[in-house]
Structure 1
Amino acid sequence: MSRARIRPATGAVLAALAALALGTLPAPALAVAPAAGPAPAAQRHLGEEIRQVPLVGAVNVRDVGGYRTYGGDTVRHGQVYRADALSKLTDADVVTLSRLGLKKVVDYRVPVEVQYDGVDRLPAGLTPVSRPVTDNGLFTQLLTVIGSRDPVKQEEMLGGGRAAAFMREVYRTFVTSPENRARFGATLRDIADSDRDAPLLYHCTSGKDRTGWTSYLLLRALGVPSQTAERDYLASNTYRAAYDAKVRAGLKQAGLMQNPDLLIPLQEVRTDYLRSALDRVAADYGGLHHYLGKGLGLDLRTIAKLQARLLR
């Protein structure tokens, strides 16, 4: 499809991309910006609680602390935060964010996401560190296929398990791409090297895939059991569910998709996506320990610094 033919639909198409694993959403486009209201109930398991930071302009902002390790330590609260895009925060949200005392914000979005969604809205004195992790061309492909308004093309691209297969491949590139490994490793080193009470936040667009992988790696490096780290990863489905459903409804209402449920595999996190990355870790490195060391460049001293900084 030529650029000229899809141009009239571009504004609405961009709204669709908030629903996607690596897309973006200009808030006014389909009138589905995150709405104020009660946050999803805190998730509790064996005394552990996932702490959401309730904001109007972002739905998946969470404290990574509170989890217990195999050794009986607890990950400290108020030190590391994970988030979705921060470009649509309200003034009140920025005030709430300022209370976290953040010293660094890492943005995993690729340039085209930032271009269409906007730069982060952050408290005074904070400038995000751009550390883009590739989207494997997802944004451009979806811009074209959704902009076509053609249900046959959309089914051909996303149906029959193809959307889920694409996501599994995205997760594999978290392991196979040297650039991606360098950026994940740099974020974990930032956490290890920062002062004891210098909170850091990392985010992508939906706060679930690039951000979810970082969080999983961090928790495992700290000695948190795999089941617990996976539960933190899967919690994005709870915190994003209502918002993502509004995006799908908006797409149908705008006449862009007859079957917006084709997007669900791109909106969700799934155990098999995480498993795709972990299987690649096992195949390429023999296990997570060697991936952290050889793949991300985190030596034993860095792991020890992470544990000293974040465990109590």
Structure 2
Amino acid sequence: MAPTRRAVSTSVLAVALVMPLASGTAQASPAANHPRLAHSTLMTSRVLPLPGTVNARDIGGYRTYDGKTTRWGVLYRSETLSKLPPEGVHALADLGLRSVIDLRTGPEMQADGADRLPAGVTLIAQPVDDTSLFAFIGMVVRSKDPVYQQQQLGGEKAAVRMEALYRAFVTNPANRAALGAAVRTVANSHEPSMFHCSSGKDRTGILADTILRAVGVPASTSEGDYLLSNELRAASDAALKSQLKAAGFMQDPTLLDPLLQVRSSYLGAFRAQAVADYGSFGAFLTEGLGLDTLTLFKLRLRIVG
């Protein structure tokens, strides 16, 4: 029996609230190329063929200032793992993971569901505040009011909200504590680890940026890893916007683009706030995130080969 209009609308709204589009297999093309990546062949090995995700990848293979390279198969980043089908759980098990760091907030986990993890993998909840972005998006989409949606998201309003979100990753003490704890978990791990938020792009992106730069990866290279989310999420984001329009939730779903995308200006807001508050990136690591020299040394040994 074909689903009713009401059933379809409810499903689409659930997708809108959670942000990542539930999918059975990764949608990204391994042949996709990013201008900041030195070799297009990296895309084949970097993007994980993890069913139920579109933005799961390895952060290995990045060159550091001293000519060394981040290790493959040690640390992974992803979006939510709550949509994994059984074959996705099996693929996750093949990575040999022992811990998964979940950066989602409580309301996100309640709406999106718990991670589906293989037996023996420890889930570590380190929620990072999204400044009510999750609730805000749901409110705006549910309104179905194009005038209200334009008022809330039009012009530069959505982008300004995103930059405020990124600054709050630094200014919010609880966020700094959670990010610092996540870095310590990675540094002290002896088995492969993964970290994620809902879409795998914002909180996951700044944690990846922090770790990569902390172990000596140039800021421009780390930014390339951050921006890669736009390519990997492009197909699922386009499908989400199409569904929202077809179901009558938004006349102009492109208003969501600043919220769905990552942008250099967002990452720049995070980096600038860290320097403004602590004087340098190094001081942000030690004073802001509470990472001591031994932890940073262990992180480098863990991540760089």
TM-score by length of 2: 0.91
* Distance in 2 (alpha carbons) for counterparts of 1:234 and 1:36: 18
The answer to whether the Cα contact below 8 Å between 2:100 and 2:193 also exists between their aligned partners in 1 is yes
2:149 alignment partner in structure 1? 154
* Structure 2 spans left out of the alignment, 5+ residues: 1-8
Distance in 1 between the 2:31 and 2:199 partners? 19
Counterpart-to-counterpart distance in 2, 1:265 and 1:94: 31
How do residues 1-312 of structure 1 correspond to structure 2 at under 5 angstroms?
Answer: 12-19=12-19, 27=22, 33-35=23-25, 39-41=29-31, 43=33, 45-47=37-39, 49-50=42-43, 51-195=46-190, 198-312=191-305
Deviation at 1:139, TM superposition (A): 1.9
Distance across 1 between alignment mates of 2:127 and 2:224? 25
Contact between 1:40 and 1:239, CA under 8 Å: does it hold in 2? Answer: no
How far residue 34 of structure 1 moved from its aligned partner, in angstroms, is: 4.9
The CA distance in 1 between the partners of 2:131 and 2:282, in whole Å, is: 26
The alignment yields a C-alpha RMSD, in angstroms, of 1.8
CA deviation digits over 1:135-175, x for unaligned, max 9? 11122222222111100110111111101000000000111
CA 1:38–1:257 in structure 2 vs 1: closer, same or farther (change >3 Å)?
closer
Secondary structure of 2:148's aligned partner: helix
AA partner of residue 71 (structure 1): D
Quick one: distance in 2 between partners of 1:287 and 1:17? 36
Deviates more, 1:49-58 or 1:232-241: 49-58
Q: Shift in Å at residue 41 of structure 1?
A: 2.3
Cα displacement (A) at 1:126? 1.9
Contact kept in structure 2, 1:34 and 1:243, CA below 8 Å: no
Contact 1:64 1:81 in 2 (8 A): yes
1:10 positional shift: 6.2
Q: Structure 1 pair 280/149, CA: closer, same or farther in 2 (3 Å)?
A: same
CA separation of 1:238 and 1:38: change in aligned 2, threshold 3 A: closer
| Deviation (angstroms), 1:12 | 3.7
- Output the amino acid matched with 2:211: L
Render the CA deviation track for 1:231-266: whole Å, top value 9, x for unaligned: 000000010000000000000000000000000000
Output the CA distance in 2 between the equivalents of 1:37 and 1:68: 27
Give yes or no for contact 1:59–1:240 (8 Å, CA) kept in 2: yes
SS at 2:77 equivalent? strand
Counterparts of 2:38 and 2:113 in 1: how far apart (Å)? 39
Q: 1:56, CA displacement in angstroms?
A: 2.6
* Residue range with higher mean Cα deviation, 302-311 or 154-163: 302-311
Do the aligned residues in 2 keep the contact of 1:79 with 1:310 (CA within 8 Å)? Answer: yes
Who is 1:4 aligned against? Answer: none
